[in-house]
Structure 1
Amino acid sequence: MINLVPIMLEKVGIIVIVAFLLSQMKSFRQIVQYQNNPNEKLILIMLFGGFGILSNYTGIVIHPDTIERAAWLAELEADNALANTRVMGTVIGGLLGGPLVGLGAGLIAGIHRYSLGGFTAFSCSLSTILAGMISGYLGYKRKKQGKKIDTPFAVFVGMFLEAVQMLIILLTAKPFEQAWNVVELIAFPMILVNGFGMMLFLFIIQFIKRDEERTRASQTNRAFLIADQTLPFFRQGLNIHSCTEIAEIILKLTDSDAVAITDDKLVLAHVGKASDHHIPGGKPETDLTRRVLEGGKISIARSKREIACLHDECPLEAAIVLPLKVKGKTVGTLKMYYASQEKLDQVEQQLAEGLANLFSTQLELAQAEKQAELLKDAEIKALQAQVHPHFLFNSINTISALCRTDVNKARKLLLELSSFFRGNLQGARQMLIPLEKELENVKAYIALEQSRFPNKFMIDFSVEPNLETVLLPPFTLQPLVENAIHYGFPRSKKEGHISVQIKTVDGQLQIMVSDDGQGVPKEKIELLGKQVVKSKKGNGTALFNISERLNGIYSGQASMQIKSQAGDGTTIMISIPLDEKGVFEKNAESLYCG
């Protein structure tokens, strides 16, 4: 029995070496990491089924009275059995890929084992299929519970299912006495060594995933660094000077060999290789760029023919062309070229896609700033178009810091920041928006503020059902929440509480924002909402502009009430008419262009 252990370890070594070599292939790493579509599932089935077949061929033949170390097994005699690591590959496949992969790999390895013969052929084949099904189900359940397939769990499952295989041999293999002798000889070595092999195999898989996480973290840091350095130039809009500077920064901080930027009519910049014939100032010549401008979708070329450059000596062999969008409209393209097809891998593609999204947001912000300048004399529009630079920079600084400590949280906050400023841009061109859009903007703002001041306040929402599509002026709720956060608890050491209630009362949409903060001095209560009130933190236009917009849109049928007492918090309640005779319903269709 003990003599079988080193021989089994040798066989495990073969499988682990093959797995390690495969782990160095990008395609294998991507399939193990993602495995989302049916084709990837099929590849996993073939892969782990192949591990089972390899284990069968390199197994140890158990004769009635001897053990044979066959170099490559092709067939077993009727009274022979086989000791191998077949279950290891099947179980790993099931745990990683789920029931379908486990069953498929089990069928491949099991049927092949049956074809080799021996008096345990049926028992081993059946146990292999069951091992794939059970491990697939256990892996699926564990992932559904939000738990990882860690090493102790995988080793336990592998050893347990190997023990089940021994039991199946005892129950089904004939004659029983011979089956007992075989199990007595191979049970302990196979259970122990397969468990050890599971551990090594999972270490390889975990290494792949950790390496992917490190790559993503590095990619995120690069994206933020590029975004930070290009932001001043995107504020200038798309022109030859700004785009040349942006392209130089991208070329320096990515693996691309050339970078080009166009607007919807002209090539504005091209830096790097092929600059001798890719010259700024002309119209985009390739079909690749024109397709992106017309369709607004990413386009990838992996050959010179697909790039379709008119210059015969062009050194560029691969490219990714991404749309730059403002308010959903394609206003230009970002093009990243590579002198080798291999350089345009999935990591580089994801980085390029992320940069395009960031740049589109930066262009929208630049447009918003211009819009704010043009509308600075229109008080209501200025409120709608405002973008708080300090809030933006503080949020970016917070996200940048999180990139080094919590990449997933940084990504979520970046999406919240994008959502918040997208809401600002939409509000700048619409008089009314659905309540659900206003709530999305508020919650994005809150997420960013809580990331900066995690223990400063807590907030709860109570929204009456079926009010999602009710229309109201943009920036009606968000400034109230912002005021509660910044003026309610400026220096408080205890956590403040903010409550937002939205409901219908007597044909009115009622919005109430309350806080338990420091309150407002009595002498200022009468002035709030009726005129600009000077304060240390600003000029106090938010409440005044909300009041002015409500009066202008609803012809005096809307109202805003403010109740506060120093040291006892503040409550602001806004009421908007909902009845069919009110201006709200009459103007809704003409004012909202969603």
Structure 2
Amino acid sequence: MFSLVPLMIEKVGIIVIVAFLLSRMKSFRQMVQKEHNKYEKMMLILLFGAFGLISNFTGIEVNSQAFNQTDWITEVNAESALANTRVMGVVIGALLGGPVVGLGAGLITGLHRYTLGGFTAFSCSISTIIAGLAAGYISKKRKQNGKKITPLLAVGIGMTFEALQMLIILLTAKPFADALNLVQIIALPMVLINGLGTLLFMFIIEAIMREEVSVRANQTNLAFRIADRTLPYFRQGLNAHSCKEIAAIILKLTDADAVAITDDQKVLAHAGAASDHHVPMADLITGMTRKTIERKKISVARTKAEIFCSHHHCPLEAAIVIPLKVKNHVVGTLKIYFTDPEKLDNVQQQLAEGLANLFSTQLELAEAEHQAKLLKDAEIKALQAQIHPHFLFNSINTISALCRTDANKARKLLLEFSSFIRGNLQGAKQMLIPLEKELKNVTAYISLEQTRFPNKYDIIFDIEPNLEKVYIPPFTLQPLVENAIHYGFPRSKSKGEIRIEIHSQDNYLQIIVHDNGIGISEDRMKELGKQVVTSTKGNGTAIFNISERLKGIYSGQANLTIKSKADIGTTVHISLPLYHKRGDQQVV
């Protein structure tokens, strides 16, 4: 019995070596890794049926006297049996492919075993078919329940069906005495060694699965790296500059020989091979691209003819073209080309599809971001364009009255009024203006107000030098001064004071407007800046307006706070990022 063990190990080694060599083949790995259609199940039947045939041909002929080991068995003596590893291949095929594969591989192996002869021919053939079918159903049930076939479970199933084969031999092989003697010789070696072979085979299968997971993880990581590096350009939309940078990034980080991006009319960018005739801003020259745009579906070409390039000497021989969609509308394509069709494998195709999905999402987000920005800009400009109508009427009336009493002063005020109106009109068109322009606007406003209410208050400026060119939102300072004048000193007999302080601190511009007026009640303080407040003295529009504009422009980086005490005064403090401007760029 034990002298059979090394011979069985040798036979198992042959099967394991063949399995290992097959595991290096891409077609075999693909069959193992994914769900199987009818064609793939047929291929698995033939493959694991072939394993069974190899086991039959390389088996060990056993009789009551000795073991007969030949290089290739084509016939078994009528008084002999065959010790081999056929059940192992059939069971593994069934565990991978289910009952159809198990039955098919079992029939191929079992019927071939029956043709070899020997007094256990029928017993071995029927036990092989039963093992394949039963193992397939076990695999199917576990998959339906979301459970995996582990190597140890596979070993247990393989050893169980090998033991079942011994039982079937005892029940069906004649004469029984010979059957019993055979089982006593081969049972333990075949059960154990087939279990060992199943374990080694399953380790190979698991290694293939782990490699697939690793490849997918690397592929996903690569896709996200590409997406991260291309995101700033996709935010610019599909244009020649952004697509040129995107194509260069994809070409550098993938195995592609050329990368192109188009809109629905022309090539926006092409990097890599065939750049001599795949020219940016030219019309689409490949029929494959036009077909992809029309059908809104991915196109794969594995020959030069399928690409439909009009240039006869184009080196590109394989391509994948994926539509880029925004709200299910094709706005362009991503094209990945290869000079060697073999490079366009399943991994490259999945990567390209993943990138196209990510890019389509990025384009949708960029479009949504652009629309939101347009809306926010419109809201901010509408807020900036607001001028208190009473101020306009009062200023005009004041200038009109001075025309009769003091023409020179009226002329001066008219110029200040013109400057103020011009500042408002310009400010409504710009998101940020230099501080010096805002101060000029404030000065014009104060001149008009102090003419109406002379000696009612003093304005004190405390401004840090060299901040004149710093950019701030228009109408940030003037409404605060207006609030202080109108609501800080109503019917006050004593002279008021408004202090405007502006300085820099930790890369932030600090704007502080303080008055020593009557202050603000606690109830009103809770609402100021958060909503428009209805009252007899005002509705809090100015503070709310400034607060909303700061949120829209600085996205939470700016801050507005109000502190006030009854009969002591009010302080409004605005802190915003310290921006300067160089050309069209704003920099800290």
TM-score band, normalised by shorter chain: 0.5 to 0.7
Question: Structure 1: which amino acid aligns with 2:258?
Answer: A
Residue matched to 2:261: 261
Distance 1:195 1:283, change over 3 A: same
Give yes or no for the alignment of 1:251 onto 2:245: no
Task: Return the alpha-carbon distance in structure 1 between the equivalents of residues 526 and 330 of structure 2.
Answer: 48
Q: What per-residue deviation string (whole Å, max 9, x for no partner) do you get for residues 210-259 of structure 1?
A: 00000001001100000000000001111111101000000001110100
1:417 aligns with none
CA distance in 1, matches of 2:523, 2:12: 80
The normalised TM-score by structure 2 is: 0.65
State the shift of 1:373 in Å: 2.1
Q: 2:13 aligns to what?
A: 13
Cα deviations across residues 167-202 of structure 1 (Å, max 9, x unaligned)? 000000000001111111110110010000001000
**Bigger CA drift: 68-77 or 329-338?**
68-77
> Are 1:138 and 2:138 an aligned pair?
yes
The aligned runs of 1:59-70 (5 Å cut-off) are 59-70=59-70
Q: Distance in 2 between matches of 1:531 and 1:78?
A: 104
Q: How many equivalent pairs are there? A: 401
2:20 aligned with 1:24, yes or no?
A: no
Partners of 1:81 and 1:531 lie apart in 2 by 98
Decide whether aligned partners of structure 1 residues 330 and 117 sit closer, same or farther in structure 2, where only a CA change above 3 A counts: same
Alignment-mate amino acid for residue 16 of structure 1: V
Residue number in structure 2 paired with 1:367:
367
Asked whether the 8 Å contact 2:260–2:271 carries over to 1, the reply is yes
Which whole-Å CA distance do the structure 1 matches of 2:525 and 2:109 have between them? Answer: 80
Q: Is the 8 A contact 2:12 2:194 kept in 1?
A: yes
Corresponding residue for 2:128? 128
In structure 1, distance between residues paired with 2:183 and 2:548 = 85
Q: Structure 2: where are the runs of 5+ without partners?
A: 383-521, 534-539, 552-588
Does the Cα contact within 8 Å between 2:78 and 2:119 map onto a contact in 1?
A: yes
Q: Is the 8 A contact 1:94 1:103 kept in 2?
A: yes
User: 1:378 and 1:311 mapped to 2: Cα distance?
Assistant: 49
Aligned residue in 1 for 2:410: none
Q: Secondary structure at the match of 1:375?
A: helix
Aligned residue number for residue 102 of structure 1: 102
List structure 1 runs of 4+ shifted beyond 3 angstroms.
521-535, 538-542
* Percent of pairs with identical residues: 64
What does residue 322 of structure 2 align with?
322
Q: What does the per-residue CA deviation read over 1:362-407, in whole Å, with 9 as the maximum and x for residues that have no partner?
A: 111111111112222677xx9xxxxxxxxxxxxxxxxxxxxxxxxx
CA drift of 1:36 comes to 2.6
For the Cα contact (< 8 Å) 1:79–1:118, is it kept in 2?
A: yes
Aligned-CA RMSD value: 2.6
1:163–1:191 CA contact under 8 A, matched in 2: yes
C-alpha displacement of 1:83: 0.3
- Mapped contact 1:334–1:356 kept (Cα < 8 A): yes
Counterpart residue number, 2:184: 184
In the aligned structure 2, how far is the partner of 1:296 from the partner of 1:16? 46
Cα distance, 1:220–1:93 mapped onto 2, change above 3 Å = same
Q: Is the 8 A contact 2:287 2:309 kept in 1?
A: no
Shift of residue 539 of structure 1?
6.5
- Quote the offset at 1:105 in angstroms: 1.1
**Structure 1 residues 159 and 326 mapped into 2: Cα distance closer, same or farther (>3 Å)?**
same
| TM superposition shift of 1:150 | 1.0
- Aligned-residue offset at 1:47: 0.9
Q: Give the TM-score, by structure 1 length.
A: 0.64
Residue pair 1:301, 1:319 contacting (<8 A) in 2 also: yes
TM-fit CA distance, 1:540: 13
> 2:301–2:319: 8 Å Cα contact kept in structure 1?
yes
Name 1:355's counterpart in structure 2: 355
C-alpha distance in structure 1 between counterparts of 2:251 and 2:277, whole Å: 18
- Corresponding letter in the other structure for 1:376: K
Amino acid at match of 1:106: G
Match of 2:205, as an amino acid? I
Q: Which whole-Å CA distance do the structure 2 matches of 1:207 and 1:257 have between them?
A: 30
Give secondary structure in 1 for the equivalent of 2:256: coil
Task: Name the SS of the counterpart of 2:278 in structure 1.
Answer: coil
Structure 1 residues 371 and 53, CA, compared in 2 at 3 Å: closer, same or farther? same
In 1: Cα distance, 2:167 partner to 2:526 partner: 81
Structure 1 residue 531 displacement after superposition: 5.6
Task: Map residues 41-120 of structure 1 onto 2, 5 A cutoff.
Answer: 41-120=41-120
What is the CA-CA distance between 1:77 and the residue it aligns to?
Answer: 2.2
Letter in 2 for 1:20: F
User: Could you tell me how far apart the structure 2 residues matched to 1:161 and 1:522 are?
Assistant: 84
Match in the other structure for 2:494: none
The 8 Å contact of residues 49 and 108 in structure 1, kept in 2 or not, is answered as yes
The 8 Å contact of residues 35 and 41 in structure 1, kept in 2 or not, is answered as: no
In structure 1, what is the equivalent of residue 202 of structure 2?
Answer: 202
> Secondary structure at 1:110's aligned position in 2?
helix
* CA deviation string 1:480-512 (max 9, x = no partner): xxxxxxxxxxxxxxxxxxxxxxxxxxxxxxxxx
Structure 1 unmatched ranges of 5 or more: 383-520, 543-594
Which residue in the other structure is 2:559 paired with? none
Bigger mean CA deviation after superposition, 227-236 or 368-377: 368-377
Aligned counterparts of 1:252 and 1:311: Cα–Cα separation in 2: 25
- Bigger mean CA offset, 57-66 vs 161-170: 57-66
Please name the residue that 1:491 is paired with.
none
